Homo-oligomer: A and B are copies of this chain.
Amino acid sequence: MRDLPAAVAGYGALRRAPVRRRPAPGKVLPSLEAAIAACGLTDGATVSFHHHLRNGDAVLNAVMDALARAGLRGLHVAATSIFPVHAPLVGHIRSGVVGRISAAYISGPVAEAVSRGALAEPVVLRTHGGRARALDLGEVRVDAAFVAAPAADAMGNLSGRAGRAPCGTLGYPMVDVETARHVVAVTDSLVPYPAVPAEIPQTKVDFVVEVARIGDPSGIASGATRPATDPLGLGIAGQAAAVIAASGLLTEGFSFQTGAGGVSLATAAAVGREMAARGVTGSFASGGITGFHVEMLEAGLFRALMDVQCFDLAAVASLGRNPGHMAMSAATYAGPHVGGAVVDRLSAVVLGAAEVDTDFNVNVTTRADGTIIGGSGGHADTAQGARLTVVTTRLTAAGHAKIVPRVGTLTTPGETIDVVVTEAGIAVNPLRPELADRLRHAGLPLVSIEALAAKAAAAAERPAPAAPEGRIVAISEYRDGTVTDVIRAIGEAAP
């Protein structure tokens, strides 16, 4: 080393050290057990997961099994969504390995077990944006984020577009890898450096574990559907599209989100035809992206797709091919804390509902008997952000009325719902008289929400079940962390 002064005015002491070459460290560990040890996880730790592999995911179960074998107890599972495939989690709840759960969406056996009181502590259901907020602001501290990666290299570059089970964007764990104390990538395709193209860069990943399989590709595509073709669904979709067409918002730069359900996609198709007829080019479509959205991009109906999750392989392929098809993180998508998220730029969103009440409140969390069947996901985020929020629903399902005096669980506040479209007419929120005027002028069949509720009650074959009165088993949080509702246990609580 050179002979230098010990300190320099205006700089301070000069740190000196011998220089050594820096071979790149290896991040690959031989097993999930080794990764758990490397993360230093202890009882009560928070472990996070994402749901891009949807009902094909094998990573959450494999990691939870390894955590159980490691003897850990009372863990907090902070997932983005939990699906029927995650049924083994019920066993880990009963054995005490899992003590807490938070998620944006829970369906299947885990949801049923929670509804029956399997967990002593209430589940926290957040919106997608609310979960990103809770992580970014430190309200939830993740000790280890487990990222299911369709392909990874030894340095931790993670690709969603290569490997045996490509899922495209990794928008949800983008939030986790920024804030978790440790990040473990789990892959079944450990590829030569560098993984191409990388969704998450190596700087965000601490460890890489190769497993036999991260999931079932057929389950991964379970979010995808095609537009509805049944007359009732097509009718509702056509009316929803007519609402958008008459709203005054279907002009140059129009932006749009729908779910991936059949009625939503049929609505999008009808809106697309109207855009083409008017010569309108939209700015973006957002959310979970399907091949159907890709067709709209490629037809020039939108300039961009803002993609937090690919729902099918056509979307995965487009992401690599089309610069206008852009991945985004859950925070960018829906975070209420980021100074304006993508959802806050939406012209219109079309959403579903398990129930809607006469205050326009929407329930997508519980079914008629009170059992948990989902949660907001992006429902409440987009409803608040969009200038026009349209809920499409049939009057009844499984014999129960879907337009009701009071929703079983308030997931999305009625203040953020503008229009409810059913096969029996269209109800406009009284908070939006100017919108009602526009729709009326367009000749659309407006009715009051009370009239729809009355028709639904008349059409229902089964009475509304009594509201559950058990202890509180889940909390429904809004985007900003305020509470919209509590969910109570059904039937007998588990011991």
Contacts and interface: CB of A to CB of B under 8 A. Distances in A.
Interface of A: 2, 4-5, 8-11, 14-25, 27, 120-122, 124, 155-156, 161, 192-194, 196-198, 201-203, 206, 253, 255, 283-284, 303-304, 306, 320-321, 323-324, 326, 328-329, 331-332, 335-336, 338-342, 344-345, 384-385, 387, 410, 413, 415-416, 472, 475, 478, 480-486
Contacts of A339: 25, 27, 156, 202-203, 206
A4 B416 contact: no
Given A155-B345, A472-B8, A486-B8, A19 B415 contact: yes
Contact of A340 (B4, B25, B192, B303): B25
Nearest 4 interchain pairs by C-beta:
A10-B121, A24-B344, A203-B338, A14-B483
Nearest to A15: B482
Given A5-B472, A10-B122, A11-B121, 6 more contacts: A4-B485, A14-B482, A15-B481, A17-B482, A155-B340, A197-B326
Contacts of A10: 120-122
A194 B283 contact: yes
Contacts of A342: 194, 202
Tallying the copies of this chain within the complex gives 2
B304 A21 contact: no
Given A416-B19, A475-B14, A484 B203 contact: no
A22 B328 contact: no
19 contacts: A9-B472, A19-B415, A19-B478, A21-B415, A21-B416, A22-B336, A24-B345, A27-B340, A155-B345, A192-B253, A193-B283, A193-B284, A196-B326, A197-B326, A201-B332, A202-B332, A202-B339, A203-B335, A206-B339
B2 A161 contact: no
Is the contact region of chain A dominated by helix, strand, or loop, or is it mixed?
Answer: loop
A24 B484 CA distance: 22
A315 B230 CA distance: 50
Contacts of A155: 340, 345
B384 A21 contact: yes
A418 B415 CA distance: 68
A158 to B, nearest CB: 12
Contacts of A485: 2, 4
A308 B317 CA distance: 25
B203 A332 contact: yes
Residue from A19, A283, A329, A387 whose CB has the most chain B CB atoms within 10 Å: A19
Contacts of A124: 11
Nearest to A20: B415
A323 B199 CA distance: 11
A306 B19 contact: no
Nearest to A431: B21
A13 to B, nearest CB: 9
A198 B326 contact: yes
A146 B387 CA distance: 32
Nearest to A475: B11
A284 B202 CA distance: 15
A192 to B, nearest CB: 6
A344 B23 contact: yes
Contacts of A338: 202-203
A8 B120 CA distance: 12
B203 A17 contact: no
A224 B198 CA distance: 26
A27 B344 CA distance: 13
The residue in A14, A23, A203, A345 that gathers the most chain B C-beta atoms within 10 A of its C-beta is A203
